[in-house]
Amino acid sequence: MDGAIIKAIGIKALLYGGGGLVLFWTFNAVKLVIGARGINPLVKLFFDHIAAGRIDAAYRLTTKTYKQHVNRQDFLKFLGGLQLNKYRNLKSGRPKIEDNKIMLTLNLKSEDKKIELPLEFSFVKIEKEWRINRITKATK
């Protein structure tokens, strides 16, 4: 009889624990989706500006912190070194929230999908708008 009670309590504890875990995961997933709203249009705008040759407009989508560390000339050199004209497709990775920043890895792929360029972006929300806080080449 004692074994049956222990088994029943164990099963209930396991179910409550599993339910709590699912609730916690769902809450965080919803928080991430709602919090990251607006990043995809920013990324699209950033690459549209670069494709159209409006480098200054793309540079203006970055934060003051980024501009303090990367001046316009360094930004131009960085973009030139990436050789973005080789790539046609963009695949977004899974965003990660860290403090008030969202980290996102974007994979640029060549038209034949043989060459891939992973870029790590960091985004910060400033006055209800997302801005690019960091761009680096990702290491595989």
Q: What is the pLDDT of residues 106-140, one digit of tens each?
A: 999 988 878 889 999 999 988 888 999 999 998 76
Let me know whether 110 and 78 are in one domain: yes
The DSSP string of 34-75 is HHTTTHHHHHHHHHHHHHTT-HHHHHTTB-HHHHHHS-HHHH
Let me know whether 9 and 53 are in one domain: no
Let me know whether 68 and 50 are in one domain: yes
Rounded Cα distance, 55 and 113, in Å: 26
Q: How much of the chain, in percent, has pLDDT values that exceed 70?
A: 91
Give the least confident one: 14-18, 55-59, 72-76, 80-84: 14-18
6 token code pair: 């222990």
Let me know whether 122 and 78 are in one domain: yes
Q: Are 55 and 76 in contact (CB under 8 A)?
A: yes
49 vs 32, higher pLDDT: 49
Let me know whether 62 and 128 are in one domain: yes
pLDDT for 77 equals 94
Let me know whether 17 and 60 are in one domain: no
Q: How many domains does the chain have?
A: 2
Rounded Cα distance, 79 and 95, in Å: 23
Rounded Cα distance, 98 and 119, in Å: 17
pLDDT for 17 equals 82
Let me know whether 29 and 46 are in one domain: no
Count, residues in the chain: 140
Let me know whether 13 and 79 are in one domain: no
Q: What is the CATH number of the domain that holds 133?
A: 3.10.450.100
Cross-strand partners of 107: 91, 118
Question: What's the predicted TM-score (pTM) here?
Answer: 0.72
Let me know whether 43 and 31 are in one domain: no
Let me know whether 24 and 70 are in one domain: no
Let me know whether 130 and 107 are in one domain: yes
Q: Which domain holds residue 51?
A: 38-137
Rounded mean pLDDT of 5-12?
75
Let me know whether 24 and 90 are in one domain: no
Highest-scoring range by mean pLDDT, 12-21, 56-65, 110-119, 120-129: 56-65
